[in-house]
Structure 1
Amino acid sequence: MRVITGSARGKRLRELEGLETRPTTDRVKESIFNIVQFDVEGRKVLDLFGGTGQLGIEALSRGAERCTFVDMRRDAVNVIRENLKATRLAERAQVFQGDAMAWLRSCREKFDLVFLDPPYASGLLQQALETGCDIDILTENGIIVCESAVDTPLPELRAPYVKGREYRYGKIKITLYRREL
């Protein structure tokens, strides 16, 4: 697992031990950033189910203004912090340990780009989407990028949130939501 491009290009990222965390493959990560390439630089990013932090770190490496990482697991938060330090991106990041849904419900900030990649069978993706819509988490024209199993149905959200295109990569599906005017 490595940073694909930007200021930390080629840096190897530390991974979590065990099977609890499923890192996004480099192929899927590269595809995600090809899709949102013009929506990263100078933006405020949220990596809600941070894991190793690789999606948020990739965004920071590509010029995002800052990124907030949230993960429940202490070991994941430690790995995110180590990866931020190794990539020299820590000064533009905030890392929180705690329940992602509780953090989201208490969030009083809006983001330009949100990554949602929770454990596939947890039901947390749908909850996070609906809660994000309820609290209006996105700035105008903001984007939510969801990673899920290809057979996971994702909900339509109420306006101004619009479900966009879905991209399939083997057993993985990337779904975009946008906040329109």
Structure 2
Amino acid sequence: MRIIGGTHRGTALTPVGKGDTGAHLRPTTDRVRESLFNVLMGGRFGDPITKVRVLDLFAGTGALGLEALSRGASHVTFVDSGRMAQKLIRANIAKLRREADTQLIATDATRLPEGEGCNLIFLDPPYGKGLGAKALEAAKAKGWIAAEALIVWEESAAQIAPAGFTTLDQRRYGETWITFLRHSA
């Protein structure tokens, strides 16, 4: 796993192997991450990354949020309850020397504390457990999602937009579906 583009392009992230199914670590592959960021940077959604605040729910290794930082995001808040994930996120933040513009919240993504609105939200819950919609609702209720925020939801199937969100696009990459949503505040 590596950073695909931006200022940290080519930097290898802390290895996780094939993931840890017990800890629900299933890193987004470089290929899927590259395709995802090509869509984000392609202009269809304006410029959803430069100088924005990012929320990375079920952050795992932190690769999605760190990729956004590498490409110009101003701040990323990582949320993960797993000890192994927290260790990987901290190691990757340190590796890129991005402590000043990141925060790690060690909690369940469905039980967030109050927060500051973010413009880009990555949502990568354990597949097939129904946690994505719950985490999205918690983030919305606790003030983490800014008006018109773009949500990037990775799952094993295309997702239906919950109330207050609009589906913009859905793409399939092998067994991974990416659903792009807009928060309609």
> Following the alignment from structure 1 to structure 2, what is the Cα–Cα distance between the partners of residues 21 and 61?
22
Task: Percent identity, please.
Answer: 40
Specify whether residues 18 and 129 from structure 1 end up closer, same or farther in structure 2 by C-alpha distance, changes over 3 A only. Answer: closer
**Contact persistence 2:50–2:71 (CA under 8 A):** yes
Corresponding residue number in structure 2 for 1:82 = 91
1:72 alignment partner in structure 2:
81
1:133-152 matches, within 5 Å, as 133-135=140-142, 137-150=144-157
Which of 101, 107, 124 lines up with 1:98 in the alignment? Answer: 107
Query: Normalised by the size of structure 1, how large is the TM-score?
Result: 0.89
Equivalent pairs counted in the alignment come to 176
What letter is aligned with 1:142? A
CA contact (8 A) 2:2 2:12 kept: yes
Gaps of at least 5 residues in structure 1 are: none
Query: Structure 1 residue 119 and structure 2 residue 121: aligned?
Result: no
Q: Residues 1-181 of structure 1 correspond to what in structure 2 (within 5 A)?
A: 1-16=1-16, 18-19=20-21, 20-37=24-41, 38-103=47-112, 106-135=113-142, 137-150=144-157, 154-159=159-164, 161-180=165-184
Residues 154 and 18 (structure 1), Cα distance of their counterparts in 2 relative to 1, 3 Å cut = closer
Q: What secondary structure does 2:134 align onto?
A: helix
The answer as to whether partners of 1:157 and 1:163 remain within 8 angstroms in 2 is no
- The secondary structure found in structure 2 opposite 1:130 is helix
**Counterparts in 2 of 1:26 and 1:175: CA distance versus 1, 3 Å:** same
Instruction: Report how far residue 78 of structure 1 moved.
Output: 1.3
- Residue pair 1:126, 1:155 contacting (<8 A) in 2 also: no
Q: Which runs of 5+ in 2 are unaligned?
A: 42-46
Per-residue deviation, 1:48: 1.0
Q: For 2:128, what is the secondary structure of its paired residue?
A: helix
- Alignment-mate amino acid for residue 145 of structure 1: V
Query: What SS does the aligned partner of 1:36 have?
Result: helix
The answer as to whether partners of 2:114 and 2:143 remain within 8 angstroms in 1 is no
